[in-house]
Amino acid sequence: MLSSQAPNRALRLSLRARHFSTSRPVAAVSPYRSANPATKSQKKVEKREQSTAAATQAAHSSPARTVPSPAFNRSVKEDVQPLQAFRQPEMDHSFVGMNGGQIFHEMMLRHGVKHVFGYPGGAILPVFDAIYNSEAFDFILPRHEQGAGHMAEGYARACGKPGVVLVTSGPGATNVITPMQDALMDGTPMVVFCGQVPTTAIGSDAFQEADVIGISRACTKWNVMVKNIAELPRRINEAFEIATSGRPGPVLVDLPKDVTGAMLNRPIPMSSTLPTHPSAASLAAKDLSRKQLDSAISRTADLINMAKKPVIYCGAGILGHPDGPQLLKELSEKAQIPVTTTLQGLGAYDELDPKALHMLGMHGSAFANMSMQEADLILALGARFDDRITGHVPRFAP
């Protein structure tokens, strides 16, 4: 029974078995595909053929360069100038081997400084050591840093040169704040050099440390901290230029002790060590302003000739020029115009002259203020209309 069923079962299993063919199976084709699709290999062949054709065309073309646009055509080749080789800036070797204090001394000599006002201290000792035995200029020692600042103010007003102040860090620098504010309001040139703790100790509440740059920002035209000895000459030149240019005023240079005590071991550009001179742009601007000034002077002369009660109102700006008082006197005598001055302008005009109206303003003379109120032409020279002069502006010189 079992033996008769075994062949039948084997037959059924053989019919279910998978048949393998040695021929390549037909790939299924998507109904959405084109009839003759290009394979990747065919695309690569087409790209290679196209590139080969372009190269063949370039090989058979003329080797001559195509003619550029007319803007680039030059009939005369001599007009084309070759590029200039880069030139290294001229270097100054005179400061090599000097420390910061000695560089300070040399820069003072280059700027023609004859007097220095100040008070010594630990943070500024490298500078004092360099100038201690110097015969180039005199050092004036007051009893307080504030006195040094006011002395420098008076010196600047008397001779027209910027007053130089040299103080230490912390309280030494803060004691000069009042003179700097005074110089800023009066337009007095002054250069203040103050010591500072080493750069590595800034911000650590070191002994006699103070943020002098932040404190003096509102009472100076410009202030800076020198953090590298190589930039010390350039900063000193900038300080003197800013203090004396435009409307004069005070500047402050903060000198950390590690900078003034360091040694310069490499040359620096010559342009940074020489006192600055007016550039071509500034000279051109002065020429333009001079032309505008000439036209303004002509118009002012016409107004003076038409005026019946003119008054000259002058301030400290007259004293800022060496010939200012003399020119003011010539103008007053030639035009027969009375002169009144501000508090800072006292001395610009002879007070004993018959045309002198003396000082005006809140604490001025009555006839000086009355002349301003009744004048039909006010010629302001080197003065600003301060509130101590004008008082209630709508009622001033109606």
Is the distance from CB of 225 to CB of 257 less than 8 angstroms? no
Calculate mean pLDDT across residues 326-343.
92
CATH 3.40.50.10710 fits 308-395, yes or no: no
Is the distance from CB of 187 to CB of 246 less than 8 angstroms? no
The pLDDT of residue 275 is 78
Domain assignments of the chain as residue spans, ordered by start: 92-277, 308-395
Q: pLDDT grade, residue 21 (50/70/90)?
A: low
pLDDT for residue 185 is more than 70: yes
Mean pLDDT of the chain: 82
Is the distance from CB of 253 to CB of 239 less than 8 angstroms? yes
Q: Which of 221, 297, 225, 215 is nearest to 257 (CA)?
A: 225
Q: What phi and psi values does residue 178 have, to the nearest 5 degrees?
A: -60, -45
Q: State whether residue 225 is helix, strand or coil.
A: strand
The pLDDT of residue 236 is 95
The pLDDT of residue 394 is 82
Question: What is the token pair recorded at 22?
Answer: 């040695």
Q: Tell me whether the CATH fold assigned to 92-277 matches the one assigned to 308-395.
A: yes
Q: pLDDT tens digit string along 133-168? A: 888 889 999 999 999 999 999 999 888 899 999 999
**Helix 232-244, helix 100-110: angle, nearest 10:** 40
pLDDT for residue 358 is more than 80: yes
Burial 136-147 (b: 16+ CB within 10 A, else e): ebeeeeeeebbb
The pLDDT of residue 391 is 82
CA distances from 4 to 8, 11, 14 (A): 8, 12, 17
283 vs 232, which has greater pLDDT? 232
The pLDDT of residue 137 is 85
Strand partners, 203: none
The pLDDT of residue 316 is 86
**Other CB atoms closer than 10 Å to residue 377's CB: what's the count?**
15
Q: pLDDT grade, residue 123 (50/70/90)?
A: very high
Is the distance from CB of 361 to CB of 388 less than 8 angstroms? yes
The region of weakest confidence among 34-43, 83-92, 248-257, 357-366 is 34-43
CATH 1.10.287.3510 fits 92-277, yes or no: no
The pLDDT of residue 59 is 60
Calculate mean pLDDT across residues 14-19.
54
The pLDDT of residue 162 is 94
